[in-house]
Structure 1
Amino acid sequence: MRSGLRETVAVLAGVLAPLLLALALIPFRTSVTHTNLALLLVVVVVAVAALGSRLAGAVAALSAAAWFDFFHTEPYQSFHIQDRADVETAVLLLVVGLLVSQLAARARTLRRVAVVDASHLERLHGTTRLARFSTSADDVVRRVRRELAEVLELRECRFEYGALVGRPPRLDPDGSVKVAGWIWDVDRQGWPDGEIELRATVHGRYEGRFMMTPAPGAAPPPLEARLVAVDLAAQAAAALGHFAPQRS
């Protein structure tokens, strides 16, 4: 499911799920304490936030507080609250719902980051093993080309041996991108037009360069992905340096 559609569904769930639960609990509003009713509504807020986003969680918290007020505090079917204890419960429901929704959304974000980091580590580990045990530098270069295409969402990636020619945009070791000597704001502007150069160097020794063409409309890669790309290129450079005697 695309992120935009998922967000829309989550926000709608944030509006409707607390309403439906509040309606289902109407027969029990005289036999269950308002505190317990509020806790049940908080569970719905957590579920929406875990599946959606901070926005969806915030909408669910607001919806839960509103429908708790409307259906479960006197006078019923009114947003006016007479009892001070009910006012405090409604306010606490809103505050706790907002806090818990933020924590749930943050936990989901951290889980996603952990998955991405594990994927990057697997790429680097696999390439390192190939560079160590392969009998051909070309195998390592082909592996790095594939990995770069995936981690940076490239349309094409080729490798050039030999001397540097021209001054294309360049991905530097610190993850920044330079165009004509100036730092390009990748996070805000996306990739620059044309091919981007990534030099394969190790211990200051130049072995070649990867020429990368981003896929049309691809999101700008985060700094972590660009640094992984730099490390992958260094692995290729190390393999090329190791096999240099055989190539010459």
Structure 2
Amino acid sequence: MKIPLRDTVTVAAGALAPFAAALVLMPLRTSVTHTNVALLLVVVVVAVSAFGNRFAGALAALSAAAWFDFFHTEPYQSFHIQDRADIETAVLLLVVGLIVSQLAARGRTMKRVAVTDAIHLERLHGTTRLARSSTSSDDVVRRVRQELIEVLELRACRFEYGTLIGRPPRLDPDGTVKVDGWIWDVERQGWPEGEIELRAIVHGRYQGRFLLTPEPGSVPPPLEARLVAADLAAQAAAALDDDGVNAGPRS
């Protein structure tokens, strides 16, 4: 499964940014107290955590403690610490860095979730408004196709009216994916190969199906996004049902 570029960059920053900061602060180690140096390194840890993930933040905290020891405690250029106060400062730097990094990452995650939820809500409301105002179910189907591409980060999406040919993997209304009747572990295994069907069903009546084509090697969206996709498909089914389009069997 492909690792997002942002995560790769922030993990690299977690390892390298504290090293660079400790190196830059070397000329000041005789004029600035070790406590102040440690505080400056904590700022670097927070910056990495704010833009990265929990792993990047924890890595930055470990890196900051190690390079503080290496560059700013005697004997210099050694991971051995002689002074007890320096040992306490290094330990506190590590502990505080870990705590602050996790708090920063949690705050960033909560903000991202709130923004994502608002976007999903607008998708559903926008499609509902179109379904109520449009006289053509085709318009709703086209809108849902585009929304599915965006919410599931797909390469392509097409719609088949009233057909059930073959047994492709299926995205169910509860957000699970089934392959040959068995639940597929999307979080661990990624998307199954080939197109994935998302059936448009309303009041037990099958109206058609969306055939989803994920980007190769992409990270599947979280459960919340898959549930939104199922709701969007249901809105398309309702629009088709209102138009009397029902060529398929009951599901």
Whether TM exceeds 0.5 here: the answer is yes
Distance 1:150 1:20, change over 3 A: same
SS in 2 for 1:28: coil
Deviation, 1:40, is: 2.5
Q: How does 1:72-111 map to 2 (within 5 A)?
A: 72-74=72-74, 79-111=79-111
Could you tell me how far apart the structure 2 residues matched to 1:240 and 1:197 are?
A: 17
Task: Note the 1:197-236 alignment, pairs <5 A.
Answer: 197-236=197-236
Amino acid aligned to 2:155: R
Letter in 2 for 1:23: M
Aligned-residue offset at 1:239: 1.4
Residue from 4, 7, 22 that aligns with 1:19: 22
Q: Relative to structure 1, is the Cα distance of residues 227 and 16 closer, same or farther in structure 2, using a 3 angstrom cutoff?
A: same
C-alpha distance in structure 1 between counterparts of 2:16 and 2:61, whole Å: 11
Q: Is the 8 A contact 1:14 1:56 kept in 2?
A: no
Counterpart contact for 2:26–2:72, Cα < 8 Å: no
Q: Report the Cα offset of residue 66 of structure 1.
A: 3.4
* 1:159 aligned partner, one-letter code: F
Q: Distance in 1 between matches of 2:62 and 2:78?
A: 16
Select the structure of larger CA radius of gyration. Answer: 1
- Secondary structure of 2:25 counterpart: helix
> Counterpart amino acid of 2:52?
G
* TM-score normalised over the length of structure 2: 0.82
- Structure 2 gaps of 5+ residues are 246-251
Contact 2:11–2:59 (CA under 8 A) maintained in structure 1: no
Identity %: 74
Contact 2:18 2:44 survives alignment (8 Å): no
Counterpart in the other structure of 1:65: 65
Matching residue's letter, 2:19: L
TM-fit CA distance, 1:21? 4.7
From the superposition, tell whether residues 39 and 121 of structure 1 become closer, same or farther in structure 2 (CA, over 3 Å).
same
- State the distance in 1 between where 2:81 and 2:180 align: 65
- Report runs of 4+ in structure 1 exceeding 6 Å deviation: none
The equivalent residue for 2:46 is 46
Deviations 1:104-125 (A, max 9, x none): 2222233333332222222111
RMSD (CA atoms):
2.7
Q: Match for 1:7: what amino acid?
A: T
Alignment CA distance shift 1:24-1:137 (3 Å):
farther
Secondary structure at 1:197 match in 2: strand
Distance 1:53-1:167 versus aligned 2 partners, 3 A rule: closer
How many equivalent pairs are there? Answer: 242
Superposition map of 1:27-42 within 5 A: 27-29=30-32, 32=33, 34-42=34-42
Is the 1:191–1:220 contact (alpha carbons within 8 Å) kept by the matching residues of 2? yes
**SS of 2:158 mapped into structure 1:** strand
Deviates more, 1:104-113 or 1:118-127: 104-113
| Aligned-partner residue type, residue 16 of structure 2 | A
Judge which range, 209-218 or 73-82, deviates more.
73-82
Match of 1:241 in 2: 241
- 1:49 and 1:116 map into 2 onto residues whose CA distance is 20
Gaps of 5+ in 1: none
